[in-house]
Every structure is written in structure tokens, then in C-alpha cells.
């Protein structure tokens, strides 16, 4: 007899997601109280009320998640793998922080034993915080990037990552050449791009540390291989922007250093963009390129107030990133709240963000930035089941709000306002449980 190999689970929960952008559509947030999500072999097959789905699939195994709030897995579109151990270097602007805090630590990843431990901590930190997809700034060492991909694939994290390449102005041990950058990246692409959940992102660190030669090597990779993503930094700090202007006298502005190399596309994600000019915004919009907003980092490094309104008015897509370790941790809830604060502080120049906007920025906006909106970011049928259950433990501040809430909207607002890692009870990636609060990650993945 032919075995029926379909695994089918019906999740019963109040769930919320943003299949459309609340920036464009006031009805972008969808809320389902006592909802049902039917997952078949890791993919969402149907959604609706629990009662409807129970009626249609009476034999499906039920996973009862009532008392919590089920959200799509978070998507962090800017986070540095080698910087998890140097979170908290406060009190310095970008260039000093790089020299004193980040780069000495990044040099340590030449040691594969060290890199393996950091890769395990990093993937665990993301998954424990409900992040199931991340655009990861890798390491300058190919061996460390290989370890990251291996750990991401083992743990269930979808990493879009790559070798970070630079050939000037960092530290000698972090420098490479265009030829070596090309060869090492190519080997990593051939091994990891499209393997399981993993994808490759071509990653020059920033124009300050990249010659035209190395940017051209990046462009050659983008031409040679289908479906690669591109990421780098842009317009983060005023001193940085001045230095880039001096290094690229021919370029019209910071964006032009990437644009001239053909690196600004709909699969490009440029982190920060705190100080863009109007030309840059209009070119980013025309090329459907994303700005990854990192509000905790922008606050910690004093980089400035992100001009979200100007991005939206110009038509530039915006996603959210934690920018660990310039940022202050792996929580996309905290990042959403900080984005909200920074808009509130801008008065008329700010965008009044709602909880629906924050959820969108933390989920579907990231999927769109990575051109993965057909795979993840919301709970529409056909998407893989990447999800996080917010279910605060008894006697926690968020549980008090959940128990008192008279509408599901209150749950979402309070989750962003006061939710922490400990409030997340379970995380699924591709339908598999990759974290359960009671067990911890190790028990599930080792």
C-alpha cells in the first residue's frame, strides 16, 4: 500500500499578519481571533477560523496555542554575525566604534574554533528572538562564513549571507584583493546559494573600505550567478559620508559608488541611509532597492534620525534590521519600538507608526526586501510556516496585559511596547519547531 506521507497540523490560535503593507493599505493588518492555520509538510495550506478549518479537516492533528498570539517569523534585514559578543560598545560614533569595538572582534573569526562558537550563539540568538530569516553580514573569513551557513542550515534559520569583502582602511588581516574576494565568494556561492534555506548575498562592507576594483568583483559575481542578493552600508554617519566623498571624487554621492558598479537593484538592501539626498532616494525607488532601517544602532552610535517620511514619499521600500552589534540586541520587537520612538521624536517630519506598521516592518517588509515575499513574511496559503508564538509566562508584565486585553489590537501593541525574548514560547521555521521556551534550542536541534 502507498503510504500517505503528508504531515498535517492544524494550529489553533489568535493570529495576525500583514499580507499587504499598512503604508499603502489601511486594511493591511489581518487579525483572526480563534483562527486556524493548516500546515502540510511545512507549508500553509489553508487559513480561516478554527471552526471552519476543523470542519473541513476533521482528522488533522490539532496544536492548541490559545492564550497566545501567533505572528509570522521575524525578518531581520541587517545583522552582523561576528559582532554578537561586542554588543554594548556604547558612547562612540561609527568610525571610532568600528576601530575600537567591532573590527578587533571580527579579526578573531580567523580562528575556526572561535568562529564556530560565535556562529552557534548567533543562530541561537536569532531563533530565540523569533527571527526565522535574516540578511546576515558575514565575516571577512571564508571559513567563518562556511561555518555560519552550516549552523544556520542545521538550526533552521534562513540566512541570506555572504563573505564580507574589503581591501582598504580596516585592519590588514581583514583585507583581501578583488581576485581573492571573487574566488572565495564563488566557492561559497556554489556550496550554499540555494542549499536548503540558505541564500547568498554579495557583501562589500561599505564604500569606505572598498576600492572600485572590489566593487567590480562584486558586480561580476552578481552577473555570473542567478538570484544573488546584494547588501552593504550607506549614508550612516556624517564623517563616514565625507570620507567616502573624498575616496570617490567622480561619484555623485554615496549611492553612486554602488550604482556605477551596477549594484543597485531590486535585490539590493542598503543599511541605514540616515542622511540621503533626494537624488539617492529617487534612484533607490526607481531600482526598487531597499533601505534597512536600524533604529537601535542609529541611536546607540548617535548616527541620526532616520527620515522615514522622505523614504516613503520618494517610494523607497524600507525594512528593519537590528544591526547587532552596533544595535543593542536581537529583538525585532525592540527594534520596532525604537523605530516608533524615533518617528515620534521627529514631530511633523516623523511618520506616526501603528502596531500594524511595526508588524509589517518586522515581517513582510523584510520578505519583500529579500525578494522572498512568495515564500515567507505572512500567513497566506502557499507560504512556508515560519512563525512565532507570543505567549507570556504567568506573572510577567505582558501576561498581565494579555489577560486583561479586550481586543486583539491591544495584544499587538503591548507585544511591541513591552515584549521581550522570554515572552516568546515557540518558534517554527519551515514548519519545524526550532525553539520552545520550556526546552531551549539545544534540546530540539542537537
Ligand X SMILES: Nc1nc2[nH]cnc2c(=O)[nH]1
Preceding amide of 442 cis, omega within 30: no
With CB under 5 A as the contact rule, which of the stretches 127-135, 173-181, 211-219, 267-275 interacts with Zn ion?
A: 267-275
The site partner of 75 among Zn ion, ligand X, none (C-beta below 5 to 8 Å per kind) is: none
Decide: is 317 part of the binding site for ligand X (CB under 6 A).
no
The site partner of 146 among ligand X, Zn ion, none (C-beta below 5 to 8 Å per kind) is: none
Decide: is 329 part of the binding site for ligand X (CB under 6 A).
no
- Measured distance CA(438)–CA(192) in Å, rounded: 32
- Measured distance CA(87)–CA(434) in Å, rounded: 24
With CB under 5 A as the contact rule, which of the stretches 155-163, 266-274, 335-343, 388-396 interacts with Zn ion?
A: 266-274
CB closer to Zn ion, 65 vs 324: 324
The x, y and z cell numbers of residue 184, run together, are 572565495
DSSP 395: T
Secondary structure (DSSP) of 306-370: --HHHHHHHT-EEEE---TTTSS-S-HHHHHHHHHHHHHTTGGGS----HHHHHHHHTHHHHHHT
- Measured distance CA(86)–CA(75) in Å, rounded: 22
Q: Return phi, psi of residue 228, to 5°.
A: -70, 150
With CB under 6 A as the contact rule, which of the stretches 94-102, 307-315, 331-339, 373-381 interacts with ligand X?
A: 94-102
Among 184, 323, 378, 386, indicate the residue that binds ligand X (CB under 6 A): 323
CB closer to Zn ion, 103 vs 271: 271
The site partner of 236 among Zn ion, ligand X, none (C-beta below 5 to 8 Å per kind) is: ligand X
| Least distance CB 344 / ligand X (angstroms) | 23
Among 236, 371, 386, 423, indicate the residue that binds ligand X (CB under 6 A): 236
Q: Provide the sign of the torsion angle of the four alpha carbons 225, 227, 231, 235, taken in this order.
A: positive
The x, y and z cell numbers of residue 87, run together, are 554588543
CB closer to ligand X, 102 vs 188: 102
- Measured distance CA(62)–CA(364) in Å, rounded: 26
The x, y and z cell numbers of residue 375, run together, are 515564500
CB closer to ligand X, 106 vs 423: 106
Q: Are 106 and 166 in contact (CB under 8 A)?
A: no
Decide: is 84 part of the binding site for ligand X (CB under 6 A).
no
- Please identify which residue in the block is written with the cell numbers 576601530: 99
| Least distance CB 193 / ligand X (angstroms) | 23
The site partner of 184 among Zn ion, ligand X, none (C-beta below 5 to 8 Å per kind) is: none
In angstroms, the first-to-last Cα distance of the chain is 34
Decide: is 236 part of the binding site for Zn ion (CB under 5 A).
no
Decide: is 323 part of the binding site for Zn ion (CB under 5 A).
yes
Decide: is 120 part of the binding site for ligand X (CB under 6 A).
no
Decide: is 233 part of the binding site for ligand X (CB under 6 A).
yes
Chain residues binding ligand X by CB under 6 A are 80, 94, 98, 102, 205-206, 233, 236, 297, 323, 326
Amino acid at each position: 500500500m502507498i503510504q500517505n506521507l503528508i504531515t498535517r497540523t492544524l494550529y489553533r490560535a489568535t493570529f495576525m499578519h500583514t499580507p499587504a503593507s499598512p503604508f499603502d493599505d489601511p486594511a493591511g493588518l489581518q487579525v483572526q481571533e480563534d483562527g486556524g492555520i493548516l500546515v502540510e509538510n511545512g507549508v500553509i495550506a489553508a487559513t480561516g477560523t478554527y471552526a471552519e478549518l476543523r470542519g473541513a479537516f476533521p482528522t488533522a492533528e490539532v496544536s492548541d496555542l490559545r492564550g497566545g498570539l501567533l505572528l509570522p517569523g521575524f525578518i531581520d534585514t541587517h545583522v552582523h554575525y561576528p559582532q554578537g559578543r561586542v554588543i554594548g560598545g556604547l558612547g562612540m560614533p561609527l568610525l571610532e566604534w568600528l576601530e575600537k569595538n567591532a573590527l578587533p572582534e571580527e579579526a578573531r573569526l580567523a580562528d575556526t574554533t572561535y568562529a564556530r562558537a560565535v556562529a552557534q550563539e548567533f543562530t541561537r540568538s536569532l531563533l530565540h528572538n523569533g527571527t526565522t530569516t535574516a540578511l546576515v553580514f558575514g565575516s571577512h573569513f571564508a571559513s567563518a562564513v562556511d561555518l555560519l551557513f552550516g549552523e544556520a542550515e542545521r538550526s533552521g534559520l534562513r540566512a541570506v549571507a555572504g563573505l564580507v569583502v574589503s581591501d582598504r582602511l580596516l585592519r590588514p588581516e581583514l583585507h583581501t584583493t578583488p581576485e581573492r574576494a571573487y574566488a572565495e565568494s564563488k566557492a561559497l556561492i556554489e556550496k550554499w546559494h540555494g542549499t536548503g534555506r540558505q541564500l547568498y548575498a554579495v557583501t562589500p562592507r561599505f564604500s569606505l573600505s572598498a576600492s572600485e576594483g572590489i566593487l567590480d568583483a562584486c558586480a561580476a559575481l552578481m552577473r555570473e550567478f542567478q538570484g544573488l542578493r546584494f547588501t552593504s552600508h550607506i549614508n550612516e554617519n556624517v564623517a563616514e559620508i565625507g570620507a567616502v566623498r573624498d575616496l570617490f571624487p567622480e561619484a555623485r554621492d554615496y549611492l553612486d559608488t554602488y550604482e556605477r558598479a551596477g549594484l543597485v537593484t531590486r535585490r539590493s538592501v542598503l543599511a541605514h541611509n540616515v542622511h540621503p539626498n533626494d537624488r539617492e532616494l529617487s534612484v533607490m525607488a526607481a531600482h526598487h532597492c531597499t533601505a534597512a532601517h536600524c533604529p537601535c544602532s542609529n541611536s546607540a552610535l548617535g548616527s541620526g534620525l532616520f527620515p522615514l517620511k522622505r523614504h516613503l514619499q520618494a517610494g523607497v521600500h524600507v525594512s528593519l534590521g537590528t544591526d547587532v552589534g552596533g544595535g543593542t540586541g536581537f529583538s525585532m520587537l525592540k527594534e520596532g519600538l525604537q523605530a516608533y520612538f524615533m518617528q515620534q521624536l521627529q514631530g511633523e517630519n516623523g511618520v506616526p507608526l501603528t502596531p500594524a506598521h511595526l508588524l509589517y516592518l518586522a515581517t513582510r517588509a523584510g520578505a519583500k526586501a529579500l525578494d522572498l515575499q512568495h515564500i515567507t513574511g505572512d500567513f497566506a496559503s502557499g507560504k512556508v510556516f515560519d512563525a512565532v508564538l507570543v505567549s507570556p509566562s504567568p506573572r510577567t508584565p505582558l501576561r498581565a496585559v494579555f489577560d486583561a486585553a479586550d481586543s486583539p489590537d491591544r495584544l499587538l501593541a503591548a507585544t511591541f511596547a513591552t515584549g521581550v525574548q522570554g515572552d516568546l514560547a515557540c518558534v517554527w521555521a519551515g514548519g519545524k519547531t526550532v525553539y520552545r521556551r520550556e526546552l531551549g534550542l539545544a534540546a530540539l536541534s542537537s
